[in-house]
A and B are shown apart, each in its own frame.
Chain A
Amino acid sequence: MKRIDSIIRPQNLDAVKENLAAIGVQALTVTEVRGFGRQKGHTEVYRGTEYAVDFVPKIMLTIISSDDRAKEIVDAIVAGARTGKMGDGKIFVSPLDEVVRIRTGEHGDAAV
């Protein structure tokens, strides 16, 4: 099993969600997050005084998949979230030890 965490631009969430729905992803979790990478923050002016927006608002998607579907899902996210400019985000794929469905108590692949 894999855990796929993707940091994307908030405005690209809809495109990513549609791509994922098209390939049959049935569950995902969205978290509003803030941070910076190579894009860095930017500055704005409030009442004549500059201030830095160090932590840029982003969306984090968390998807759990079986090992064989992970690549397909990653490709769908990339297709929806890419603009080609700095700040498009990153995808982290990591192995996952265990999944439990709380309602039924199912374990492992059956719970994905």
Chain B
Amino acid sequence: MTKNVVRRSGGWARLPGRAVLLVGLLGVLLRTGFAADTPKPDPAGIATGDKTTAVDAGGNAFAVPEPTDKTAPDYAKNKKDFDEYQAQAAREPLAAKLADSVGHIRIATNFAWTLNTGYLVLFMQAGFALLTCGLVRKKNAAHLMMLNFAAYVFAFLAYYAVGYAFQFGAVAVNAAPGNLGGTPTLNHFLIGSGQWGFLGGNGFFLSGPAYDAGSNCLMLFEVVFMETAGYIIVGSICERINFWGFLLCELFIGAILYPVFGCWVWGGGWLSQVGATLNMGHGYVDFAGSTVVHAVGGFTAMALAVILGPRLGKYGKDGKPRAFPAHNLVYVVTGTFILLFGWMGFNPGSTLGATDLRISVIAVNTNLAAVAGSATALFFWYLLFGKPDVTMACNGMLAGLVAITAPCAFVSPTSAVVIGTLAGLLVCGGVLFNERVSKIDDPCGAISVHGFCGWLGAVCVGIFADGTYGSGWNGIGAATYLGHAGQGVTGLLHGDTRQFFCQLGGATLCAVWAFGATFVVFSIVNKIKSMRVPPEVEREGLDIPEFGMSAYPEDAVVTVD
């Protein structure tokens, strides 16, 4: 070992000329590879959060960056500010050091918030599993549980491999999550560039630029959102889809369908930038995913339900629907409350930071819409059919939650009640429409709850947003908007019609994308190999034929040897 080292050093000593050349070459390579403006990933999280992330309540940074563009019109002012900051830092070096610490702790606080709210969202999967399982017939309960379980597993792997990179691979270009340190390494569009990005391109398999503390924090939070979209489809395709068909659906959602629209809206893609490029308000705004998550899931579910067709016996020879009552209302209500609880992560967590104190308003708005939606559905059913239906009351609560998800940060509590009420009416109408008119068999009401009410939620941003929050959203109106300093995202009722049309167009585009892409892809898949179980399996119940076990084996008469 020692010998080796000696020999090597001796070799270098004998060839000084070559060594200098090599070092020089390495230097050039390094400089081109990691030029000053090319950020490096920070897997250990040591360099994430310093004085540049120490900001005041208004988001103004303590540290003043050195202006680089000498041709900029405000260069002289910026240079003066920078010089003053430098002088001040020199006078108070301890303060400058403390600012590094404050900036790091701010990011750490936001990490803790984002990760913990992400865990809440993760727990929503348990709620979905209980809700959908309770709403189907007993003979398919084990199948429902397996679908819910496998959805998490396989969609997660697809999102890790490519989905995350497609969605957030270029987030730093236009939508850097400052609360998490900005993830500066996620800065490359695979398709498109600048303000017309269509697909992210950094961070496949969470390697290279995505092997970074901030990026992984974002990944954890975002993957459970994608899972939510993945779960939604279960409610519409259950009791008839076969397992392999279902796994293909989940891989498709996790790898492509969800990340594409997610990139357009949250990854800094073109739809979020239409405020700047086409003068459409603040660009398309969806705070926590009424469309990005729920409408994508809902309209995907709709396309799959159309392809699969209704369950055997759902419609009689006369075309009239028949009821297949829920087998366990205890699961349905428990599942709904778990979802409500998880939504306390879903919406407030979408600030990606506890230092954004709007989180309290968001949490209250979310709850208000939930109870308003639930009360509306309950009374609507009572007036129409003479008895309140607990499954519809639960659907109403979820409808309110889905609809408030996009506007939760931008509206007042009173508006949240109105939005929840509208959603409660829409979900009842949607369920009756699908059951009686369109005859799309949707066992758990997922199309109405997530599809229709998701669309409504995004449109409601364009109606009810009151301008108190979201100043500078998507880079629009940081100084003033509609002539007011600090004016944020604003809807129709508060004077911004362009925002309304932007929301209407964006939400409709979401529905078209999710339904259209799914319909095309899975019509072909279904032609190649049927995604539906054989009729005799469907009559018997899918539990035993598909998985060899039933959810309630004690129901069967069993002999042991």
Contact = CB atoms under 8 A, between A and B. Distances in A.
Nearest to A49: B323
B435 A45 contact: no
A4 B326 CA distance: 37
B322 A45 contact: no
B548 to A, nearest CB: 29
B198 to A, nearest CB: 40
Contacts of B385: 45, 48
Interface string B289-324: 000000000000000000000000000000001111
Interface string B376-393: 000001001111010110
A46 interface: yes
Instruction: Describe A's contact surface by its main secondary structure.
Output: strand
Contacts of B384: 48
Interface in A13-70: 44-51
A48 to B, nearest CB: 5
A88 B548 CA distance: 42
Interface in B403-448: 431-432, 435-436, 445
B431 A51 contact: no
B431 A48 contact: yes
Contacts of A44: 325
B435 A47 contact: yes
A47 B326 CA distance: 10
A51 B445 CA distance: 18
Contacts of A51: 322-323, 325
Contacts of A50: 323
Q: Pick from B385, B391, B436 the residue with the most CB of A within 10 Å.
A: B385
A45 B390 CA distance: 12
B322 A47 contact: no
A45 B389 contact: yes
B321 A49 contact: yes
A107 B162 CA distance: 78
Contacts, number: 36
Interface range on chain B (Cβ under 8 Å from partner): 10 to 19
A46 B432 CA distance: 11
A47 B443 CA distance: 10
Contacts of B389: 45-48
B386 A47 contact: no
B386 A49 contact: no
Given A50-B323, A51-B322, A51-B323, A45 B391 contact: no
Nearest to B326: A46
A49 B323 CA distance: 6
A2 to B, nearest CB: 30
Contacts of B432: 48
A45 B386 contact: yes
A32 to B, nearest CB: 13
A45 B321 CA distance: 12
B431 A47 contact: yes
A44 B384 CA distance: 13
A59 B384 CA distance: 34
Contacts of B381: 48
Nearest to A53: B325
A50 B321 CA distance: 9
Contacts of A46: 323-326, 389, 391
Contacts of B325: 44, 46, 51
B445 A47 contact: yes
Interface string B319-361: 0011111100000000000000000000000000000000000
B219 to A, nearest CB: 38
> Among the interface residues A45, A50, A51, which one has the most CB atoms of the partner chain B within 10 A?
A45
B82 to A, nearest CB: 65
A45 B392 CA distance: 12
Contacts of B321: 49
A44 B385 CA distance: 10
Contacts of B435: 47-49
Contacts of B322: 49, 51
Interface in B229-281: none
A51 B384 CA distance: 16
A45 B445 contact: no
Contacts of B445: 47
Contacts of B431: 47-48
A89 to B, nearest CB: 25
Contacts of A47: 323, 389, 391-392, 431, 435, 445
B228 to A, nearest CB: 23
B425 to A, nearest CB: 14
Contact of A45 (B324, B326, B387, B436): B387
A106 to B, nearest CB: 29
Most chain B beta-carbon contacts within 10 A, residue among A46, A47, A50, A51: A47
A53 to B, nearest CB: 10
A80 to B, nearest CB: 31
A16 to B, nearest CB: 27
B376 to A, nearest CB: 15
Contacts of B386: 45
Nearest to A48: B432
A44 B326 CA distance: 13
Contacts of B392: 47-48
Contacts of A49: 321-323, 435
A45 B389 CA distance: 8
A68 to B, nearest CB: 38
Contacts of A48: 381, 384-385, 389, 392, 431-432, 435-436
Contacts of B436: 48
10 contacts: A45-B323, A46-B323, A46-B389, A46-B391, A47-B323, A47-B435, A48-B392, A48-B432, A48-B435, A49-B322
Given A46-B323, A49-B321, 7 more contacts: A45-B385, A47-B389, A47-B431, A48-B389, A48-B436, A50-B323, A51-B325
Interface of B: 321-326, 381, 384-387, 389, 391-392, 431-432, 435-436, 445
Interface of A: 44-51
Question: Which 8 A-B pairs give the minimum distances between C-beta atoms?
Answer: A51-B323, A46-B323, A49-B323, A46-B325, A45-B385, A49-B321, A48-B432, A48-B435
